[in-house]
Amino acid sequence: MDLTCTEEEEEFRAGLRSWLADALPQLPPRPDPTDWPGRRAYDLGWQRRLYDAGYAGLHWPVDAGGRGATPTQHLIYLEETERAGAPYVGANFVGLLHAGPTIAAEGTPEQRARWLPPILRGDEVWCQGFSEPDAGSDLASLRTRAVRDGDHYIVSGSKIWTSHAEVADWCELLVRTSPVTEDVPKHRGISWLAMPMDAPGVTVRPLRTLAGSTEFAEMFLDEVRVPVGNRVGDENDGWRVTMVTLSFERGTAFVGEVVACRRTLAALAAEARRCGRWDDPVLRRRLGRLNVEFHALWRLTQWNVSEAQRTGGVPGTGGSVFKLRYSHARQELYDTAAEVLGAGALDLDQEWVLDRLSSLSYTIAAGTSQIQQNIVAERILGLPKGR
């Protein structure tokens, strides 16, 4: 166990810091949150700058186009980009943080060569077509069908809650390639496909969230032809691949946001001092408690990232421990922000108010807290499975 940085890592930090100081002022103005094409261009543009500077896919394996950086370097990268106020991954979330890593871990050399470089270069956006209207927590009961027709699958069905579907080029899609029968349980007949979003038969209908924007969408698939070569993993072995994707999604995808939360917390404390709310001991202690919490979550992150490194890159079920605590702490953070803001918490133009609305999804998206608790109880603690 060692938490110090080597000289080399400190050098990496210094180099990154000076690059950021130079690169950030050159960025175009941030697009309006409702301007999806603008957001896509902005997020991809940032990714391209990272790529050109050699910071894209820092912790991805070298044979996947990554830089094979140490976990410490990866975390330094997250700390420094956040501290400098660099853009969030945004539309690149799925590609960089779970579809890409899944392809890196499970894809063939051809698949890696086809899909990973455009993700790293900021050329292509991915979305996640897992959930269906009747398959949310019970993801394995998904019904979108893929029927083999020569070297293609013909895919029909519908997906829901697909974030960034409006601007995505590719979708990591779960389909049923074998119907459920008495002998084939629902987990068995699933396959993981990369579906081009511009294929005929794909219809995207944006859905409005409670924050008023269209962050996610419904997706209707009507006899969409997807080459068999776009299947990652074996036919009917998609559930195992899915577990890899979910372990990235739950285990490491939110890591950068812990740093963001710590920055928000510091800003909140400054605001409380400024507006006089700091004199309220209950609020002050609440902020102190959150400071303890996020500090420890960062330590847990360091632990998990080191562990993933040790076990060959795929994070373990410990991701559920992290996600449970992180999503709760982040909601608590914005509730505390509302305390600091007082009446300002009812004004959508005040900082943190929209974030508070968005935070309501954290205990639902990427697997609800109830499901995470079942995973912790059943898969980590080995308690008997409930019905």
Ligand X SMILES: Cc1cc2nc3c(=O)[nH]c(=O)nc-3n(C[C@H](O)[C@H](O)[C@H](O)COP(=O)(O)OP(=O)(O)OC[C@H]3O[C@@H](n4cnc5c(N)ncnc54)[C@H](O)[C@@H]3O)c2cc1C
Active site residues: 249
Report 201-220 residues binding other proteins (CB under 8 A).
Answer: 207-210, 212
Q: What's the CA gap between 172 and 297, in Å, rounded?
A: 29
Q: What's the CA gap between 262 and 330, in Å, rounded?
A: 10
Does residue 371 bind ligand X (CB under 6 A)? yes
Tokens 């391209």, residue located: 48
Say how many CA atoms lie within 13 Å of 50 toward its Cβ.
Answer: 28
Contact 153, 238 (CB under 8 A): no
Crossing angle of helices 71-83/281-310, nearest 10°? Answer: 140
| Binding residue (CB under 8 A) for other proteins from 47, 230, 327, 363 | 363
Q: How far is the CB of 134 from ligand X (least distance, A)?
A: 8
Q: How far is the CB of 208 from ligand X (least distance, A)?
A: 12
What's the length of the chain? 387
- DSSP conformation class of 213: S
> Quick one: which of 317, 165, 174 has its CA closest to 249?
317
* Beta carbon nearer to other proteins, 208 or 274: 208
| Binding residue (CB under 6 A) for ligand X from 81, 92, 128, 264 | 128
Per-residue tokens: 320: 């559920």
Residue 221 main-chain phi, psi, to 5 deg: -115, 120
Q: How far is the CB of 197 from ligand X (least distance, A)?
A: 13
Report 258-317 residues binding other proteins (CB under 8 A).
Answer: 280, 282-283
Report 127-156 residues binding other proteins (CB under 8 A).
Answer: 131, 134-138, 141
Q: What's the CA gap between 309 and 306, in Å, rounded?
A: 5
Does residue 161 bind ligand X (CB under 6 A)? yes
Q: How far is the CB of 65 from other proteins (least distance, A)?
A: 33
List interacting residues with ligand X (CB under 6 A): 127-131, 136-137, 161-163, 216, 361, 364-368, 370-371, 374
List interacting residues with other proteins (CB under 8 A): 131, 134-138, 141, 160-161, 207-210, 212, 280, 282-283, 338, 342-343, 345-349, 353, 357, 360-361, 363-365, 368-370, 373-374, 386-387
